[in-house]
Amino acid sequence: MNTRTLGDSLTVSAVGLGCMGMSYGYGPAKDKQEMIAVLQGAVEAGVTFFDTAEAYGPFTNEELIGEALSSYRDGIVVATKFGFTFEDGRGKIDGVDSRPRHIRAVAEASLRRLRRDAIDLFYQHRVDPDVPIEEVAGTVGDLIREGKVKHFGLSEAGADTIRRAHAEQPVTALQSEYSLWTRQHEAEIIPTIEELGIGLVAFSPLGRGFLTGTLDEAAVFGEGDIRRNLPRFREEALRANRALVELLQRYAHEKEATPAQVALAWVLARKPWIVPIPGTTKLGRVKENIGAADLELTPAELEEIGEATRRIDIVGDRYSEEMEKATGL
């Protein structure tokens, strides 16, 4: 698979793999050996960019990645994140914490779980309003100089925060949700990071599965699946937003592709420094997703898709009010 560059020097596969759902967020954790096979199969298929976080589990996803990729070193990029605390040390997310001492503790713990000598890309998972971003960036900068971290990233940060952090320690990548049904970052965030030379890592580029065309208003989300509490996945929203899937299905038919490949190809075509990280627990889906890197959409097709989606009034917020207040996850 071809590659892309985040920031000025971090080279990754054009399509990465979001690993959260293997351990957290979409129901019970999947079988470890099956997920190891998926992760290793992804490497063999050409994926070099893997996304995890201490919060996924918590901790179990990093442990899974560490075991699965322990024999792969050269060219493999693993991104993880800091910034949360957990009930009783291992329970659900309790709050945010980006104090320097905590960042350092997370870095050491993540290195052990990931079985790596350095963290390739270390994101602040969510902005901590009680810690100046300059202090956060400076701490990660110290870790970079110490050889424990290679690149600094932010997740779901605003334009002012990005600028302030970048002035203290160059930011390699911003990770934020971006897809055909989540385009709010086009107004301010994408122009800001383009100006600063920061890459965009697009999480949920398939709309948490919706843009694949495999979900409809009859979908049932089990215990532990975060979509149960997301406004966009209520029955009435799924029905109303079906127009977007139908658009993708039409283009998929014309291009002899899948709706997921069309959705990812659109994201890839937006900017050469955008890298989508669709998540999946199936190797067949990994291979389908990376096939999007070879799907060419003409400028006219891209414009038509973009204009058509702008005319579709997406129903439902990304997150519930409670989730926004708690963690933003």
Active site residue 56: yes
| pLDDT above 90 coverage of the chain, percent | 93
Amino acid at 283: L
Beta bridge partners of 6: 10
Helix, strand, coil: what percent of the chain each, to 5? Answer: 45, 15, 35
Q: Which two tokens stand for residue 224?
A: 């532990």
Contact between 155 and 126 under an 8 Å Cβ cutoff? The reply is yes
Q: Indicate the helix (H) or strand (E) that contains 10.
A: strand 10-13
Distance CA 241, CA 239 (A): 6
Q: Which domains does the chain have, with CATH numbers?
A: 3-326 (3.20.20.100)
What's the mean pLDDT when you consider all of the chain?
96
**Active-site residue, from 24, 26, 56, 251:** 56
Which pTM does this prediction carry?
0.97
Give residue 275's region: left, alpha or beta (phi > 0; psi -120 to 50).
beta
pLDDT reading at 329 higher than 70: no
104-136 CB burial, b ≥16 within 10 A, e <16: bebbeebbebbbbebbbbbbbbbbbeebebeeb
Tens digits of per-residue pLDDT, 138-184? Answer: 999 999 999 999 999 999 999 999 999 999 999 999 999 999 999 99
Other C-beta atoms lying within 10 Å of the C-beta of residue 167: 13
pLDDT category of residue 310 using cuts at 50, 70 and 90 = confident
Location of structure tokens 């100089």: 145
